[in-house]
A and B are shown apart, each in its own frame.
Chain A
């Protein structure tokens, strides 16, 4: 998985609790992305980062926040988890924002009860 790890790999939580997912890369790539994947919707971009402390919103950012204090780590936080945030979350990295392809981590399966 191109030197990308995600933690935890599986998590079950309750509605209203905060949840943080971690993406860690060893490739020193500048760009990092968080996606969610749901049946019938495909991959949808939540947030992305183009450098330390530089982040921007994707198409489904409501209810999520991110932080990137180091090149290698990109954190996704659900401030107050809801059942609609039950999904599989993928992190991806890219060396360049221009022509380089994205490589995906193994994913985190999150269930919000």
Chain B
């Protein structure tokens, strides 16, 4: 079983809608969670990270973490065509002092005007 599972999509939403991206993980010892955005042909760029259960908001982005259910999600409000990209979920396990991250395969998001 992969450490991190994501629906590969593609997920398609209209401009202005809320895009919901989900990620589940297998190791309950996972401690920190990261969302990266990757445009086609570009490198991943960090959007948000979350460590504690609950919601964390940054502008139009909200990360949600539920450790009991072992899932983390990213909500994008007022989606824009410029949000069209692949979104990567990553996690760091408890006790990992070397910063090793485990990545999901990514979910492709398309926002149509």
**Residues of chain A having any CB pair with chain B under 8 Å:** 1, 31, 33, 40-45, 48, 50, 56, 58, 90, 94, 96-107
Contact = CB atoms under 8 A, between A and B. Distances in A.
A104 B43 contact: yes
User: Which applies to chain B's interface (DSSP): helix, strand, loop or mixed?
Assistant: loop
Contacts of B46: 101-103
Interface stretch (B10-18, B57-65, B67-75, B94-102): B94-102
Interface of B: 32, 34, 36, 42-46, 49, 51, 88, 90, 96-101, 103-106
Contacts of A104: 36, 43-45
A10 B44 CA distance: 18
B43 A107 contact: yes
Contact of B100 (A42, A58, A106): A58
Nearest to B2: A42
Most chain A CB neighbours (cut-off 10 Å) among B49, B88, B100: B100
A96 B99 contact: yes
A36 B36 CA distance: 16
B100 A45 contact: yes
Contacts of B100: 33, 45, 48, 58, 97
Given A101-B34, A105-B43, 13 more contacts: A1-B43, A40-B105, A42-B88, A42-B105, A48-B100, A50-B99, A56-B98, A97-B100, A101-B49, A102-B101, A104-B45, A106-B43, A107-B43
A48 B98 contact: yes
Contacts of A58: 100
20 contacts: A1-B43, A33-B99, A42-B88, A42-B104, A42-B106, A43-B44, A43-B103, A45-B101, A48-B98, A97-B98, A97-B99, A98-B99, A100-B99, A101-B49, A102-B99, A103-B46, A106-B42, A106-B43, A107-B42, A107-B43
